[in-house]
Structure formats: C-alpha cells, structure tokens
Amino acid sequence: MTLSPSPVAAPRWQLAVLLGAVALVLLAAFPYFEQVRNANELPRLLQAMSLVEQGEWAIDGPSQRGIPTGPDVARSPVDDRLYPNKPPGASVVGALAYVIARVGAEPPTLREFTWWARLLAGVVPVLIIAALAWLRLRRDYSGSVSAAAILLFVFGTPMFVYARLFYGHALAACLLYAGVLAIERGIARARVGVVGWGAALASLAITVEYGAAFAGLPIALMFVWPILRDRRVRADRRSHTTLAAIALGCALVPVIALSIYQRAAFGSAWVTGYHHAADPGFAQLHGQGLLGLGAPRWSNVVTHVLSPNTGLLVWSPLVVIACIGLGQLAWRAGPSRREARLQVGIFAAVVLVGLGLSFEGGWRVGPRYLVVALPMLLLGIAEYIAWALELGSARRRALAIGSLGAAASWSLLANSLAATLWPHLDPTNIAEPFGAVLVPLWREGLGPYGIPTWFRGGLSFTLALPIGAGLGALAWALIRGREQLRASLLLSFALGASLGALVPTLAIPRAVEAHPKTARNLKYIEKVYEPRVHAGKRTPGRSKDLANPI
C-alpha cells in the first residue's frame, strides 16, 4: 500500500532544501588522521596524482615522495611497477579532484587533496543518489515520506561513513542506482535510449568496484524471464529482444575499457590487480576460489550480518525495515512490482556474494562490500513508512511504528558516531566499536576537522544534526500521513526511538565482553587523533603532511 502524493507536482525548492540539508551534514565534519594512512584511499590518491602529473596509471612516481602505498597495491608482471589492486574508476574522479586541489599559488597538502577527493567521490555521489531517489519516490509517495526515507538511508546506513571517505563505495553505488532506475524507466516506457544509458551507467560501476558486476545477474534475468513466462512479451519478442540487445551492447562499453586497462597494467584483459597483490597475506586471501570468492559460509553470515562489530544488522537494523517494505512491493501485484523484484534481486545477489568472500574488508564500518547495493533499499524504506501509517489495527500500527522508531534511532546514532568520530574501525582488536571507541571519543570531546569550536558543545551539535534530521523527518511524515491518532502514533514512535538509542550506547557495550587490547587500541586512536586538543584549544596534529605540500 502506498501513499499517493499531491496531484500538484512537487516544488523544486523542496528538493533543493533536501539536498542542502544532506550536503550540510556530510560536510560538517572531515575525519582525517594523517598518521593512520588509510590503505584504501592512498593507492587511489597516488594513482590520481600520477594520472595528472605523468599521464600514467602506475603509482611508483608519486609514492617516491614519502607517501607509503600501503598493502592494497599490485606488482605488474608487465613492467614490474606498482598499481592499485582495485579498478581505476575512482582514481579518474580523484584525478579531477587533484586538478582542482592544485589551483592556487601553493601546492596542496595530502589533507587538502584528500578533502577534494572525498568530496567528488563521496559527498557528490550521495547527493546524486538523494536527488534520484526523490524524483523516483515522489511518483508514489508524499514529500514527507520521501524525504524521511532518503534521510534515513543517507544517515542511518554505512553509506553515511563512505560518503566521507575516498573508498569508491559511494561512487559505485551511485552509478549502479542511477543505471537501475534508468533501465527500469526505459523498459516501462519502451525507450531504447534510456535503457542503453542505464545499462552503461550500471556497468560503469564495475570500473569502480568489481563487486558491482554481480548486479548484472538480476538485471539480465529481468530481460530474460518475461520472454519465458509472459505471452504478451513473447508476442512482441522483437521489441523486447531489441531492448535487451541494446542494454547488453551499452553495458559492454565500460567493461571493454576496463579490460584494456587490465591488459595494459597486468598483461591480460581477464587479470585484475588482485591476481598480483604485492602483499603476501592479501595474495593468499585473493588466491582462494575466484579472486577470494567461494561458496557462502556461516562464519561470513556472522561476520557480515550478525557480528556486534561488523554486522550489517548491528550497524543498520533499518535494513530489516527496508527489506519488509521492498518485499511487500515485490510480492503484491502493482506498478512497482517488477522494479521491487529487480532491486531485491540485486541486493540479495550482492549479499550472497559477500557471504562467500575469503577476506573481510580490513578497516571498515559494517560490511563495506555491501554498500554498493544499499540504495536498492530506498524504495523499501518509503513503502514501510507508508504501509505502517495505513494499518487498520491500532495495535499493529503502534508495533510497526515503534519498530520503525527503534530501528531508525539505533541506525542513525551508530552511523553518525562512526562517520563523524572514527570511520577507520579495525575489528581485529575491537569486540564491539561503540563502548570501545566511539562513545569514549564523544565523551572526551575529540572531534575531527570541521567541527565548530566557537561554542561549547560543537561536537554534540554536529552529531545531533544527522540524528535530528532523520528522526525529525520521520516524525513529520507520521504527523502528515495520519490525521487521526497522532498522539498515539508519536508516542509509539518516541518509545521505540528511545529504546533504539540505548542499544548501541548501553546494551551492546554491556552485553559484549571487551577485547583484551581495547584500552591499547583506544589509546592509539587518541594519540593519532586530529586535530589535537591542548588546554581547550584545537590545533592540527604534527604531521609531515601539514608541513610539506605533496
């Protein structure tokens, strides 16, 4: 069941306000720690520098400036030079960031370059996801429901964290989501050009993150399945086959470009950087099965779904809410059924692949390899909110809205803490991240760059922005969506939200036994934290980066 929007088209200022709010929160903090040397960002940054300065993909040149490459690199069998072990798509965006960062009289520092790279490959893609989601959701839902779903998605899932990092996950998710929406729209209107454009965008995500390739299986099935089952489609087989052929042809263009890069760097179109990982430990992990991919294992279910330090359900129980809503759309006959089934299939395929990986993902917040498929849940979040408001039974409605409030506050609080304070969690020495790292950093007032310091409580205010935006938008959707029983709805929502906020801050830290190295790990984080706090004043950390431009 959906809530129909107003027959009058949504004013453009509503989208502008929404994007402005998202941008304000995403740019309110810049968690950068020079001494940490993020192994996922550095190879991409070095490759971007090399593209601009030398016009080449190898990173040996920039790495000679004293910037360590980290373990995420590959040794080429072609020229014996170093390359990132990842696809080059994010590095291309990073090259644009480097060009912008170099504008001015002085060369940029590594911190300044990192800020621009994170802006273009993290913040901007998430803003594009929000804009596309608004345009899609407003076709079926009210403005308040659409805004609430988008804000909950951005700030209540690990997407919040990776919008502030140069990992490539946000960029790949944006390309995949844009492509899927275009493909579905093109099929619904029988527009060949739109289908082709969507297929190219979805395929382009593979040049940023190899895991996006597995979204192609549900997309291909969406073209094939109707021909096998639907008589009307079989009668118009030629038209449907044309759409499928155009989609395949356009999807191959980015794949061919990626193959050319792989052949030049590693000697074969079928060989990736993971085949030639320079780090022996990485080489062993990626050498298992198909680039480290095997059959799903129960241990990975625990690690990626249930674990108190890395599980998706612990970091974002909002995913359960989204899956319920998306499942209802996929099951019930209606105009959104095919779209919902496609998005369920993509999310399920990426999760299933993640459960078969032989490696876990290093420093991360939640299962980062699943982030590419998280935008597929946006439609489900909106549907759940609309469904909960339309329930006829007061008891069921209270339970549904209370569960929504609990999942929303838990997810918003958990991801806001990590995205703002410390997005480089290493689960090796952490049994659970909330009581071991995040809450102590908040209590000590350690905030990263960008936190306002001209008034007391600047850190708490910055943390409250995404939480307040998400819960406030959801409360407004509840008020706008149900003329009757508003007090009981808000009471159920408030009780659920209060209980949900207690889970990451009190329940999980008390229920999970601390790791033996918890205190040592926290001490290290405080030692390398930037900016430093001395006698109530915040000063930049003493890092080589800040003294010497790159």
DSSP structure class, residue 435: I
Is there a contact between 410 and 317 (Cβ–Cβ < 8 Å)?
Answer: yes
**CA distances for 354 relative to 196, 357, 483, angstroms:** 28, 5, 43
DSSP H or E stretch at residue 104: none
Residues with Cβ within 8 Å of residue 161, at least 6 apart in sequence: 365, 366, 415, 418, 419, 423
What does the domain layout of the chain look like in residue ranges? 36-115, 168-272
Question: What interhelical angle do 394-421 and 486-502 show, nearest 10?
Answer: 40
Which residue in 66, 64, 65, 83 sits closest to 74, CA to CA? 83
> What is the number of alpha carbons within 13 Å of residue 6 lying toward its C-beta?
7
Position 127: which residue type?
L
Q: Pick out the chain residues at pLDDT < 70.
A: 1-10, 227-238, 281-293, 358-359, 454, 482-485, 533-548
Q: Is residue 478 a contact partner of residue 389, using CB atoms and an 8 Å limit?
A: yes
**For 262, what's the count of Cα atoms within 13 Å in the CB-facing half-sphere?**
21
Three-state secondary structure call for residue 369: helix
Report DSSP state, residue 490: H
Determine the length of the chain. Answer: 550
- What is the C-alpha to C-alpha distance for residues 196 and 265, in angstroms, rounded to an integer? 29
pLDDT value of residue 489: 81
Residues 316, 262 contacting (CB under 8 angstroms): no
pLDDT tens string 322-342: 999 999 999 998 889 999 999
Total-model pTM: 0.93
Sequence-distant (6+) residues with CB within 8 A of 536 are none
pLDDT of residue 236: 59
- What is the CB-side half-sphere exposure of residue 133 using CA atoms within 13 A? 33
Neighbours of 384 (CB within 10 A): 30
For residue 507, what are its two tokens?
């329940």
Cα 220 from Cα 228, distance rounded (Å): 13
| Cα–Cα distance for residue pair 41/91, rounded to 1 Å | 10
For residues 387 and 544, give the distance between their C-alpha atoms in angstroms, rounded to a whole number.
54
Q: How far is CA 391 from the centre of its chain?
A: 31
CB-CB contact of 180 with 376 (8 Å): yes
The pLDDT of residue 328 is 95
pLDDT digits (tens, 9 = 90+) for 419-429: 999 999 999 88
265, HSE (Cβ side, Cα atoms, 13 Å): 29
3 state SS for 113-170: HHHHHHHHHHHHHHHHHHHHHHHHHCCCCCHHHHHHHHHHHHHHCCHHHHCCCCCCHH
Q: Is 224 exposed, middle or buried (0-12, 13-18, 19+ CB in 10 A)?
A: exposed
Tokens of 172: 């790949």
pLDDT of residue 496: 94
Best CA proximity match to 47, nearest among 200, 168, 164, 162: 168
How far apart (Å, rounded) are the C-alpha atoms in residues 407 and 381?
A: 11
Write out 165-206 in H/E/C secondary structure: CCCCHHHHHHHHHHHHHHHHHHHHHCCHHHHHHHHHHHHHHH
- Any residues with CB less than 8 A from the CB of 527 and at least 6 apart, and which? none
| b/e burial code for range 403-432 (CB count within 10 A of at least 16 → b) | bbbbbbbbbbbbbbbbbbbbbbbbbebbbb
